[in-house]
């Protein structure tokens, strides 16, 4: 935990449609990792179940309705802005909607796993995305 005892919990949602995953590029105006290619992600709110947060973030960040797998495909620790964070990664099947970007992202693409890697997504996320593709692909 940080010196003040604060620790964030975040979810990542690897959305899969027709064997491809949704890659989002963080807007250049963002303070954390501008230009980074990632999947849908966001913090879990107080009292919110991580799986519910995953569905909420998917809709907020991509405009897509999804079916979230019940078990995460990965979980790991990292720090953001000096604050420890636990990240829980879920696989999700696209159910409905057209992908769009929220204010957090400036581009969205459906890519295969190698395309995601080639965009420079973080290695741990690429590994988790591979497991997500296998789980729902």
Query: What's the total number of domains in the chain?
Result: 1
Q: Would residue 80 count as lying in a domain?
A: yes
Residue 1 lies in a domain: no
Q: Which domain does 12 fall in, by range?
A: 8-136
| In a domain? residue 43 | yes
CATH number at residue 33: 3.90.79.10
Q: Is residue 19 part of a domain?
A: yes
**Residue 2 covered by a domain:** no
Confidence at residue 16, expressed as pLDDT on a 0 to 100 scale: 98
Tens-level pLDDT at each residue, the chain (137 residues): 445 667 899 999 999 999 999 999 999 886 777 889 999 999 999 999 999 999 999 999 999 999 999 999 999 998 877 889 999 999 999 999 999 998 899 999 999 999 999 999 999 999 999 999 999 96
Instruction: Confirm whether 55 is domain-assigned.
Output: yes
Q: Is 123 within a domain? A: yes
DSSP string of the chain, one letter each residue: --TTS--EEEEEEEEEETTEEEEEEEPTT-SSSTT-EE-EEEEPPTT--HHHHHHHHHHHHH--EEEE-SS-SEEEEEEETTEEEEEEEEEEEEEE------TTEEEEEEE-HHHHHHTT--HHHHHHHHHHHHHH-
């Amino acid at each position: 935990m940080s010196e003040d005892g604060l620790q964030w919990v975040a979810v990542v949602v690897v959305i899969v449609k027709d064997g491809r995953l949704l890659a989002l590029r963080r807007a250049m105006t963002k303070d954390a990792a501008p230009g980074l290619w990632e999947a849908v992600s966001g913090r879990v709110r107080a009292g919110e179940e991580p799986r519910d947060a995953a569905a909420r973030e998917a809709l907020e960040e991509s405009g897509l309705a999804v079916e979230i797998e019940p078990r995460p495909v990965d979980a790991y620790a990292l720090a953001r802005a000096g604050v420890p964070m636990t990240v829980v990664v879920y696989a999700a099947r696209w159910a409905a909607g057209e992908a769009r970007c929220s204010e957090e992202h400036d581009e969205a693409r459906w890519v295969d796993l190698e395309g995601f890697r080639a965009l420079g997504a973080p290695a741990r996320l690429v590994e988790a995305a591979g497991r997500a593709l296998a789980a729902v692909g």
